[in-house]
């Protein structure tokens, strides 16, 4: 399969990717891709991202087991943003243990946590920080 040409130059080699549950439509997370992560995602059928803080590619769930199987790939009209519709295996997309990274709602000036964690990050990651 020929990899579509995305405009990685606009943001210095990376572009944003929004990740959505393919069945429910729930937004699970937002991350970044570089060319290599994009190609790995398409080739392997599982989400790979670029960690800006660690400067490396990572496969979602490589440590936690909560991988994302690609169901559909959508590309925006400017070729500089991607929407991945995924099957979230293991139930949690967020490194903090919640299903979605968007589990905090701003109510006026108060931040409310919605839902309960699917897993305990301390047990999964120990003392080492997960990819962000």
Q: CA–CA separation, 66 vs 46, rounded Å?
A: 11
Binned at pLDDT 50, 70 and 90, residue 2 comes out as: low
Domains of the chain (ranges; CATH) run 15-119 (3.10.20.810)
Q: Is the pLDDT of residue 131 over 90?
A: no
Beta strands in the chain (DSSP E): 15-21, 27-33, 48-51, 56-59, 68-75, 82-88, 104-107, 110-113
The model's pLDDT over 11-58, given as tens digits with 9 standing for 90+, comes to 999 999 999 999 999 999 999 999 999 999 999 999 999 999 999 999
Query: What is the DSSP-derived secondary structure letter of residue 77?
Result: T
* Among the listed residues 59, 67, 54, the one whose alpha carbon sits nearest the alpha carbon of residue 36: 59
**What is residue 132's predicted lDDT score, i.e. its pLDDT?**
60
What proportion of the chain, given as a percentage, has pLDDT over 70?
Answer: 93
pTM for this one? Answer: 0.91
Q: Give the per-residue pLDDT at 130.
A: 66
CB atoms within 10 A of CB 68: 27
Q: How many CB atoms lie within 10 A of CB 88?
A: 26
| Arithmetic mean of pLDDT over the chain | 93
């Amino acid at each position: 399969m020929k990899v579509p040409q995305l405009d990685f130059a606009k943001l210095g080699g990376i572009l944003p990717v929004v990740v959505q549950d393919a069945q429910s439509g729930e937004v699970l997370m937002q991350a970044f891709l570089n060319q290599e992560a994009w190609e790995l995602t398409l080739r392997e059928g599982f989400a790979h991202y670029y960690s800006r803080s660690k400067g490396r590619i990572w496969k979602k769930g490589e440590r936690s087991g909560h991988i994302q199987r690609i169901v559909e790939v959508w590309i925006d009209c400017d070729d500089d943003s991607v929407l991945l519709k995924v099957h979230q295996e293991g139930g949690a997309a967020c490194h903090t243990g919640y299903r979605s990274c968007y589990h905090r709602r701003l109510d006026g000036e108060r931040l409310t946590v919605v839902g309960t964690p699917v897993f305990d990050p301390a047990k999964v990651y120990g003392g080492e920080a997960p990819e962000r």
